[in-house]
Structure 1
Amino acid sequence: MSIHLCVSFPGHERVLGGRRHSFLEKTSASLNQWRISCGSFPSSITNFRRPYTSVMVVPTGVGASIGGFAGDALPVARTIASVVDCLISHPNVLNAAMLYWPLPNVLYVEGHALDRFAQGSWALQPVHRNKVGLVLDAGIEEELRIRHLQVADATRASLGLPVVEYIVTDTPLQVEKWVDPRSGQSTGRIQHPDSLLRAVHTLVNHSQVNAIAVLGRFPDDDVEEMEDYRQGKGIDLLAGVEAVISHLIVKEFQIPCAHAPALSPLPLTLSLCPRSAAEEIGYTFLPCVLAGLSNAPQYVAKDSGTSNQGCILASDVDSVVIPIDACGGEGILAFARGLRHKPLIIAVEENQTVLDDTPDKLGIKAVKASNYWEAVGIIAAHKAGVDPNSLRRNGINNIRSFSASHCNGYIASNSV
C-alpha cells in the first residue's frame, strides 16, 4: 500500500519538481521514521491504560425485546465488543442455535457463574481451549441422537473444536417447562437431576473434561403455543429450564456449562419473525454451544487456594449493560451495591421484559440509555475517560460547592 503526502505551496500548488519534490520526499521519510520509532498510535495509548471491561446481561426467559429470541442480542454484543477491550456475557446473549460469531475479546460465562463472579466469590480465568464433554439425555430418540452426534463430529472436523467424548444419562431426564404465573417468566425442572450429575461426574473424573455441553430432550410444543414466539412476541418457553439445568451443573462442578434442547423440527411457516429464525434453519441448537464452551473461561473460587494471577475479577469491570426493568438479579445487585468498586450501570429503556425491577425501584444509580445505540456511545465515552453527560446539550451543570462539614474535629469548607 502506498501513502501519498500532498503539500500545497502558496502560488505554486501544481509545482512538484525540483526542490519542492525533494522536500516532499524528506517529509515522507521523516513521517515513516517517526512511525517506526513510536509504533502505532493506538498501541502507544493502550500501554498506559488498563483494559476496559464491560458486562452485558439479558436475563433468560423473561421476554426481553432484544435478546429474548434466537440470538437476537448477538449484534449488540458484537458492537460492544468492538468498543471495549473485554466483554463478559452469557449464553443467552451469544447463542443463536446453528449460528454463532467468533469474538476473541468476549468471555462466554454461564449465568450462575456470572452471579458468583459479580459477588466476588469467583474469578474468571481465560484459556486457550477447553476439553468439552457432551451429555446426551437418554430420552432422546435414536435418530435424533445420531443426528446430534453427527453435529458434534462436524464441529470437530470443520471447526476444530475440542469435543472429546460423550455420555448418555442412565435415566431419561424428563424435562418439564412452564411459565411462572407470578413473574411471567419461563422456568421448569428435570425429574431426574441425579442422573445428569452422575453423567457429568463420569466425564469430569474419567475423561478429564473441563467444560460440559448438555443436550436434553424437551417436550415438543404445540405449534399454536409457539406461534407468538415465532412471530417475535411473548417469551422463550425453553430458556427458563435451560438455565435451571446449567445452573445445577455449574454450582456442583464449577466448570463452564451450556445447554442445547433436542426437539423435533417444527413445520414450515410462511410467516416468521427474523428474530426467531435462527431456531428454524435446522434441527439442532448445538453448534453455538460447543463453539462457546470451547474457549469459555474457567471459574476460580476465591477460597480455592489457587492464585488469581491472570484472572479477571469483579473489580476489573468498568460498566454493566442491562435491560431497564431487569436490574433485580443477584449479579446486577452485587455490581450496583459493591462497597469498594461500582461499575457504571447502563439501563437500556428500549429493551423491556416481563419483569419490573427498574433502577429507580431498587435504588440503583444508573445511566439510562434510550437504546443500545446510545448505550454503545456511553461506553465509548466512559472508556475514553469522558463524562458521558458532556456529550449532551446542557448535560453539564455548574460545578457544585463543597458544603461545610466536620473533618477530624475541625470545620472544613471549600467553595469555588
Structure 2
Amino acid sequence: MHHYHSPFTVVLIIPTGIGAAIGGYAGDGLPVARAIAQVADCLVTHPNVLNGAQLYWPMDNVLYVEGYGLDQFASGAWDLVPVRRNRIGLVLDRAIEPELKLRHLQAADAARATLGLTMTDYVVTDEELGVLLKTASSGATWGTIQHPDSLLRAVDKSIHQAGAEAIAVVARFPDDEDADVLENYRHGHGVDSLAGAEAVISHLIVQTFQVPCAHAPALAPIPPDPNLSPRSAAEELGYTFLPCVLAGLSQAPHFQPSTVSATPHRIMATDVNAVVLPATACGSSAVLSFV
C-alpha cells in the first residue's frame, strides 16, 4: 500500500533591522536557508534572508516572499501561488544621481542578458522619495519616506502600463548615517541601519498592489575597510545591491486571497509544518499567527 505524504513546508523568519546574529547582515542568513531547503520540500522565507547584494543562491524549492505578504500568508488571508517566471518592473527614485542611476540600469541589463530575466521598462518616480532613517530606543531600525504617493504612482504605472508582475524598487538612501553605526555593521556587530526603512517601502507596495516586491538601496560607494566582516562583505562588491533582488523576484510567488476558489499547487498557511526563527525574536505578527 502506498501512503501519501504531504510536502514538508517550513517558514524561515529572520526579522529585519534587529541585529540578528545570523541573518542580520548582508545575506548571512542564506546558508541557513540553504541548509533547511535540503531537508524541506518547500521553504517559505523573505528577502532579508535571501538577499546578499550581488550574491544569491537559486533554489527551486524556496519561495521569496516579502514581509507584509508573509504576514498575510501566516494569518490565512493570502495564499501563495508559485510561478515559473515574473515580468519585473524596476522603479527608481528620482533622487538617484545620474551616474548611480546608470549603474543600476546596467545591473538590470546584466540580469536580463546574463540570467535571462524578463523585465519591463523602468519607471522613475515623479518626486524624490525622501527616505529618512530612524532608530528606536530598543536599537531596532525603522524609517519613513516623505513622498509615498509618488512611489505608489510609479508602481501603478509599472504594473498597469508596463505590465510588471513583480516590483523591484531602488530608493536613494542617505549617505550621512551615523559613522559609528556604519562601522559596527561593517565589522559584523550592531544593526543594519537601512533595513527598517527598506521594509516600510516594500510593505507599502505589497499592501497596496498585492504583488511581489523587494527593495535595494542606492548608496554612494564608500572607502574599503581592511577590517570588514565577512558577514557584511557582500554589500561591498560593487555599486548596487540590485542583482539579488531581481533574481529573487524572478520567480517570487503571487498572492491570492484565500477566499478565492482553490488554485492547483497553491500553498496555504495550514500547509506549514514548522517555523524557524531566532530564539529572541518571536513577537512578529507572522510568528504569532502560526502559533
Specify if TM > 0.5. Answer: yes
Q: Which residue of 2 aligns with 1:190?
A: 145
CA-CA distance at 1:308 after TM superposition: 3.5
- The one-character-per-residue Cα deviations of 1:66-113 (angstroms, maximum 9, x if unpaired) are 000000010000010001100000000000000000011000000001
Query: Normalised by the size of structure 2, how large is the TM-score?
Result: 0.97
- Kept in 2, the 8 Å contact 1:70–1:277? The answer is yes
Q: Which residue of 1 aligns with 2:167?
A: 212
3-state secondary structure, aligned to 2:231? helix
- The one-character-per-residue Cα deviations of 1:196-242 (angstroms, maximum 9, x if unpaired) are 00000011111121100000000003544310001101100000000
Aligned pair count reads 290
TM alignment of 1:328-367, pairs within 5 A: 328-336=283-291
- Kept in 2, the 8 Å contact 1:132–1:165? The answer is no
- Residue from 186, 210, 232 that aligns with 1:254: 210
Q: Which residue of 1 aligns with 2:279?
A: 324
Q: Which amino acid aligns with 2:148?
A: P
Q: Which residue of 2 aligns with 1:178?
A: 134
Q: Which residue of 2 aligns with 1:374?
A: none
TM alignment of 1:9-408, pairs within 5 A: 48-181=4-137, 183-220=138-175, 221=177, 223-303=179-259, 305-336=260-291
Q: Which amino acid aligns with 1:281?
A: L
- Kept in 2, the 8 Å contact 1:300–1:306? The answer is no
Large movers: runs of 4+ above 4 Å? none
- Kept in 1, the 8 Å contact 2:79–2:255? The answer is yes
3-state secondary structure, aligned to 1:124? strand
CA distance in 2, matches of 1:126, 1:169: 29
- The one-character-per-residue Cα deviations of 1:382-403 (angstroms, maximum 9, x if unpaired) are xxxxxxxxxxxxxxxxxxxxxx
Q: Which amino acid aligns with 2:30?
A: L
- Kept in 2, the 8 Å contact 1:123–1:308? The answer is no
CA distance in 2, matches of 1:180, 1:224: 16
CA distance in 2, matches of 1:88, 1:224: 34
- Kept in 2, the 8 Å contact 1:52–1:318? The answer is yes
- Kept in 1, the 8 Å contact 2:68–2:203? The answer is yes
Q: Which residue of 2 aligns with 1:350?
A: none
3-state secondary structure, aligned to 1:54? strand
- Kept in 2, the 8 Å contact 1:100–1:288? The answer is yes
CA distance in 2, matches of 1:76, 1:86: 14
Percentage of pairs with the same residue? 58
- Kept in 2, the 8 Å contact 1:132–1:210? The answer is yes
3-state secondary structure, aligned to 1:275? coil
- The one-character-per-residue Cα deviations of 1:139-170 (angstroms, maximum 9, x if unpaired) are 00001001110000000000001122210000
CA distance in 2, matches of 1:126, 1:70: 26
* Greater C-alpha Rg: 1
3-state secondary structure, aligned to 2:191? coil
3-state secondary structure, aligned to 2:232? helix
CA-CA distance at 1:48 after TM superposition: 2.7
Q: Which amino acid aligns with 1:94?
A: L
